[in-house]
């Protein structure tokens, strides 16, 4: 069972945690870090999946190839004359749980909205091509995805008599960016957007991510990130001495004896271990339980508790204890930290392949559009050993995309969408202070019509999950704030 090291931006309909709901069999999503153990099928099939005939290439009128894109409908709240809410799918299967739960439905109920959710091309069951060859992945891009949304919006509106209704786009994380860009590029089709935790600025190097991880751990316990750093430094020292590998293999419960032949091998191992902390920080104490996610009780508090527990030995031993805790939580027998296995999985182009759950597709999008590499280049963060070159080289290894091509692609993404300098109206950008992604988001009002909603103390996409009694008051306020904006905008 290999862990993935890329960090998805999921939170909305795409939660990797639900991959098992749709997986074609054991192992399909094994590339996904630990959430793949979910066995929850409660929500399955409650909302019937439907299919939309979509164009393969929106930017070539001479190409008439089509494919079937999956979508879901919830008409329960619709009142004639009401708006249409469109939840945008992202880099994983569209999860029908969102048709029953989530803040957007609370808004829909109050506003009498029809609710639709469209799965993103190349994820889940929306397969535009026969396989995931690099050549076929050329049809995977945010621009094609936005054009899918535009075509879907246009055809659905015509067939259901909704052309004069006001359409509102919702999304969190990468789909949050899509929600903002949908309004930006197709203002005649979408009246307003809620772009939660949206990284609108593309960047090859994203060292700020791990800086936020430091601060988020420190906000629990000032010693915590220092202890993590000590542990990570000790591990780096030991990796210099191959006689320690047998012990390291045991401590971290590796599936096969540790072998470090290249920098890529050690970087992969170190990034995999750091990932335990990155994931927990990104999703700290959120309410994804409704989606059937396991491990939501592993919080920053829990990890820092282990890191401070002197009965477990030195910081290195506690770091190993964190790794084992994560394996136990997600029922992994051992940790596969072998880079060659990872390459083999990521280059498998079959829809039944081990990275077809989204890993191969999403990393392609980072290599061809966004970058977002969470490198250890900053001194103000706890980890060592996975530099930018390691992540950039994966683009060459997996898709034959060079460092120069990557840099150019990322620059072009910002040129096309405007990055932080997005010019539009009626888009709200909620951001959570402990979510590492807020560093690439809109965190201050751009104009009165492009407001940010800052939520102190919450993680990725918190405002989208169903409300709970224990929610922070500022989280409830943020939800209300977004509602008031929608109410106001729908009158315009």
Ligand X SMILES: *[C@@H]1O[C@H](CO)[C@@H](O)[C@H](O)[C@H]1NC(C)=O
**Active site amino acids:** 173, 435, 460
277 phi/psi in degrees, rounded to 5: -80, -40
The smaller minimum CB distance to ligand X, of residues 109 and 237, is found at 237
The smaller minimum CB distance to ligand X, of residues 73 and 325, is found at 325
Name residues whose C-beta falls within 8 Å of residue 380's C-beta, 6 or more positions apart in sequence.
211, 214
Smallest CA-to-CA distance from 458 within 286, 280, 302, 287 is with: 286
Q: Is 234 in the site for ligand X (CB under 6 A)?
A: no
Smallest CA-to-CA distance from 463 within 432, 484, 426, 435 is with: 432
Name residues whose C-beta falls within 8 Å of residue 10's C-beta, 6 or more positions apart in sequence.
16, 17, 90, 91, 92, 173, 174
Out of 133, 262, 400, 447, name the contact with ligand X by CB under 6 A.
Answer: 400
The smaller minimum CB distance to ligand X, of residues 78 and 398, is found at 398
Which residue in the shown chain puts its C-beta closest to ligand X? 454
Name residues whose C-beta falls within 8 Å of residue 24's C-beta, 6 or more positions apart in sequence.
351, 352
Q: Is 438 in the site for ligand X (CB under 6 A)?
A: yes
In whole angstroms, how close is the CB of 57 to ligand X at the nearest point? 21
In whole angstroms, how close is the CB of 9 to ligand X at the nearest point? 17
The smaller minimum CB distance to ligand X, of residues 162 and 323, is found at 323
The smaller minimum CB distance to ligand X, of residues 115 and 464, is found at 464
Q: Is 252 in the site for ligand X (CB under 6 A)?
A: no
In whole angstroms, how close is the CB of 19 to ligand X at the nearest point? 15
Q: C-alpha angle 24/29/34, rounded to 5°? A: 135
Out of 141, 203, 431, 463, name the contact with ligand X by CB under 6 A.
Answer: 431
- Strands 84-88, 167-172: pairing is parallel
Query: Of 175-183, 226-234, 364-372, 451-459, which segment contacts ligand X by CB under 6 A?
Result: 451-459
Q: How many residues bind ligand X (CB under 6 A)?
A: 20
Out of 433, 457, 467, 472, name the contact with ligand X by CB under 6 A.
Answer: 433
- Distance of alpha carbon 344 from alpha carbon 2, whole angstroms: 11
Q: Which of residues 344-383 bind ligand X (CB under 6 A)?
A: 348, 350, 352-354
In 12-105, DSSP assigns E strands to 50-55, 66-74, 84-88
Grouping H, G, I as helix, E, B as strand and the rest as coil, residue 22 is: helix
Q: Are 300 and 217 in contact (CB under 8 A)?
A: yes
Query: Of 5-13, 199-207, 214-222, 438-446, which segment contacts ligand X by CB under 6 A?
Result: 438-446
Query: Of 2-10, 142-150, 218-226, 430-438, which segment contacts ligand X by CB under 6 A?
Result: 430-438
The smaller minimum CB distance to ligand X, of residues 380 and 444, is found at 444
Name residues whose C-beta falls within 8 Å of residue 398's C-beta, 6 or more positions apart in sequence.
343, 346, 347, 360, 363, 364, 367
The smaller minimum CB distance to ligand X, of residues 398 and 454, is found at 454
The radius of gyration of the chain's CA atoms, rounded to the nearest angstrom, is 22
In whole angstroms, how close is the CB of 350 to ligand X at the nearest point? 4
In whole angstroms, how close is the CB of 72 to ligand X at the nearest point? 27
Out of 452, 467, 472, 490, name the contact with ligand X by CB under 6 A.
Answer: 452
In whole angstroms, how close is the CB of 93 to ligand X at the nearest point? 17
Q: Which helix (H) or strand (E) holds 207?
A: none
Region of 38 please: left (phi>0), alpha (psi -120 to 50) or beta. Answer: beta
Grouping H, G, I as helix, E, B as strand and the rest as coil, residue 225 is: helix
Q: Which of residues 283-312 bind ligand X (CB under 6 A)?
A: 297-298, 302
In whole angstroms, how close is the CB of 460 to ligand X at the nearest point? 13
Residues lying near ligand X in the complex (CB under 6 A):
243-244, 247, 297-298, 302, 348, 350, 352-354, 400, 431, 433, 438, 443-444, 452-454
């Amino acid at each position: 069972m290999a862990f993935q090291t890329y960090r998805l931006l999921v939170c909305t309909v795409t939660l990797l945690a639900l991959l098992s709901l749709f997986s074609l069999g054991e192992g399909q999503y094994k590339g996904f870090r630990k959430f793949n153990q979910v066995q929850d099928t409660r929500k399955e099939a409650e909302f019937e999946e439907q299919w939309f005939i979509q164009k393969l290439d929106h930017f070539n009128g001479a190409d008439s190839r089509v494919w079937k894109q999956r979508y879901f409908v919830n008409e329960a709240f619709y009142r004639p004359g009401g708006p249409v809410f469109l939840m945008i799918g992202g880099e994983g299967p569209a999860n029908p749980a969102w048709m029953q739960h989530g803040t957007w439905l609370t808004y829909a109920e109050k506003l009498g909205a029809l609710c639709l959710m469209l799965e993103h091309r190349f994820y889940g069951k929306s397969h535009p091509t026969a396989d995931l060859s690099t050549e076929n992945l050329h049809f995977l891009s945010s621009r094609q995805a936005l054009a899918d949304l535009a075509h879907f919006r246009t055809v659905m509106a015509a067939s259901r008599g909704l052309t004069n209704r006001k359409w509102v786009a919702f999304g969190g994380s990468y789909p949050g960016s899509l929600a903002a860009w949908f309004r930006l590029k197709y203002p005649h089709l979408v009246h307003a957007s809620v772009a939660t935790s949206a990284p609108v600025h593309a960047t090859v190097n994203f060292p700020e991510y791990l800086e936020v991880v430091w601060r988020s751990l420190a906000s629990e316990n000032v010693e915590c990130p220092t202890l993590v750093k000590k542990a990570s430094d000790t591990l780096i020292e030991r990796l210099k001495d191959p006689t320690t590998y047998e012990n390291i293999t045991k401590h971290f419960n590796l599936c096969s004896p540790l072998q470090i032949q290249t920098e890529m091998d050690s970087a992969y191992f170190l990034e995999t271990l750091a990932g335990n902390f990155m994931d927990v920080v990104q999703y700290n104490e959120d309410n994804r339980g409704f989606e059937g996610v396991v491990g939501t009780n592993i919080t920053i508090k829990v990890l820092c508790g282990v890191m401070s527990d002197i009965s477990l030995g030195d910081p290195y031993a506690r770091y190993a204890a964190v790794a084992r805790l994560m394996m136990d939580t997600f029922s992994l027998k051992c940790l596969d930290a072998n880079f060659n296995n990872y390459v083999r999985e990521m280059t498998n182009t079959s829809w039944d392949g081990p990275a077809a759950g989204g890993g191969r597709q999403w990393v392609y999008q980072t290599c061809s559009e966004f970058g977002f590499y969470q490198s250890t280049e900053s001194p103000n963060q706890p980890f060592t050993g996975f530099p930018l070159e390691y992540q950039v080289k994966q683009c060459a290894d997996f898709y034959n995309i060079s460092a120069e091509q990557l840099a150019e692609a990322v620059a072009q993404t910002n040129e096309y969408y405007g990055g932080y300098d997005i010019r539009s109206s009626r888009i709200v950008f909620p951001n959570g202070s402990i979510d590492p992604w807020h560093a690439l988001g809109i965190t201050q009002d751009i104009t009165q019509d492009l407001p940010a909603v800052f939520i102190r103390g919450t993680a990725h996409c918190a405002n989208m999950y169903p409300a709970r009694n224990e929610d922070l008051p500022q989280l409830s306020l943020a939800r209300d704030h977004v509602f008031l904006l929608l109410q106001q905008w729908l009158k315009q």
